[in-house]
């Protein structure tokens, strides 16, 4: 791979993941979704469990892992190094046709982390939600480790959890240590640390894809849960004005903003960080000095740090993520 490749927005072929709770909703974005219950599209991924490959331009066919190895900071920016040497973020679209397990993620410092893995702080943006859709988001006030362990022992863990109604445009910041679960009827964009570590507290006693119960991780979950609250926050973004960035989440790992594009909107990449753009709804284009790319709902793009000036155009809602 030549290090003289001129920077341009990269569009990737997703890695799709079959999940017991998945469905077919990701087909609406025009992707060639494999058969079966597909729960996750790994849209921009550089992980041992999945790598996305470029669809467009001079780097077509190249995996993000190879781009990171060969172009490194010159393309991704000086900040673009995660704790395990891979691309620092993992970008997903999630089709929740059924309830996900009740789960919690560790932070980077948990001694029980699998080798080479990081903790997992993440955020969700609800792209679509059926009427009466809900999620599980945190613990009820006063629930500590003893109360949680007793509730699990007695088969009433759901009594300890907060349920929250959701609608399109809602956003949730989920720091490591926050107990959570997406529930049936939501389609979500997820921005997260580049990690695939999940500890399950409860899975509704259902069989997995192989017909056997999925593994639970009770001790690890009790260990990593932040009972005092890890700083989780939520907001409704309905009515976001066009042409202004609304900050959805600021974490040590990513900053994500929402922008409503109506016509031409000039932008610029920061010199020290790539930019990830997720088109949440609508359509339009991304233009830069050497070209233009069509963009539509469900598309995710990686803009290299040295791209510099670019424009968003059209009528679309965009999520923009970068390193802090």
Residue 180 marked as a ligand binder: yes
Radius of gyration of the chain (CA): 19
Give the C-alpha separation, 198 to 77, whole Å. Answer: 29
Beta bridge partners of 54: 12
Show which residues are catalytic: 200
Q: How far from 263 is each of 133, 169, 243, CA to CA, in Å?
A: 33, 21, 9
C-alpha to C-alpha distance for 58 and 97, rounded to whole angstroms: 37
Nearest-angstrom CA–CA distance, 147 and 145: 6
Nearest residue to 322 via CA among 259, 252, 273: 273
Strand locations in 89-232 (E)? 89-96, 102-104, 122-129, 134-139, 161-165, 170-174, 180-182, 186-193, 199-202
Q: Is 109 annotated as a binding residue?
A: no
Helical spans, DSSP H, in 121-168? 145-153
DSSP 66: H
Write b or e for each residue in 123-133: b if 16 or more Cβ atoms lie within 10 A of its Cβ, otherwise e: bbbbbbbeeeb
Angle at 303 between CA 169 and CA 275, to 5 degrees: 50
Q: Helix, strand or coil for residue 46?
A: strand
- Cβ 225 vs Cβ 285: under 8 Å: no
Which residues make up each annotated binding site? 105, 122, 180
Which residues make up each annotated binding site for Zn(2+)? 105, 122, 180
């Amino acid at each position: 791979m030549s290090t003289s490749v001129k920077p341009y927005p990269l569009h990737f072929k997703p890695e799709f993941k079959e999940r017991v709770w998945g469905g077919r909703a990701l087909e609406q974005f025009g992707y060639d979704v494999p058969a079966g219950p597909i729960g996750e599209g790994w849209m921009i991924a550089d992980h041992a469990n999945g790598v996305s490959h470029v669809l467009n331009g001079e780097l077509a066919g190249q995996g993000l892992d190879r781009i990171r190895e060969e172009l490194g900071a010159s393309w991704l920016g000086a900040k673009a190094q995660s704790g395990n040497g891979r691309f620092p973020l993992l970008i997903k679209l999630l089709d929740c046709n059924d309830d996900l397990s009740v789960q919690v993620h560790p932070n980077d410092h948990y001694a029980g982390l699998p080798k080479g893995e990081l903790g997992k702080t993440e955020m969700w943006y609800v792209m679509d939600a059926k009427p009466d859709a809900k999620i599980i988001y945190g613990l009820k006030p006063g629930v500590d480790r003893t109360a949680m362990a007793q509730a699990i022992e007695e088969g009433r863990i759901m009594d300890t959890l907060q349920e929250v109604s959701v609608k399109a445009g809602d956003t949730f910041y989920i720091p490591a240590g926050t107990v959570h679960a997406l529930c049936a009827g939501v389609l979500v964009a997820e921005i997260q640390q580049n990690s695939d570590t999940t500890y399950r507290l409860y899975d509704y006693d259902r069989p997995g894809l192989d017909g056997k119960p999925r593994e639970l991780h009770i001790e690890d979950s009790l260990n990593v849960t932040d009972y005092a609250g890890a700083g989780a926050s939520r907001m409704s973004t309905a009515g976001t004005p066009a042409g202004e960035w609304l900050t959805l989440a600021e974490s040590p790992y990513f900053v994500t903003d929402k922008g409503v594009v109506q016509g031409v909107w000039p932008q610029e990449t920061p010199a020290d960080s790539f930019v990830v753009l997720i088109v949440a709804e609508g359509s339009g284009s991304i233009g830069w000095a050497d070209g233009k790319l069509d963009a539509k709902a469900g598309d995710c793009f990686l803009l290299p740090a040295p791209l510099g000036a670019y424009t968003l155009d059209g009528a679309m809602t965009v999520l923009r993520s970068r390193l802090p």
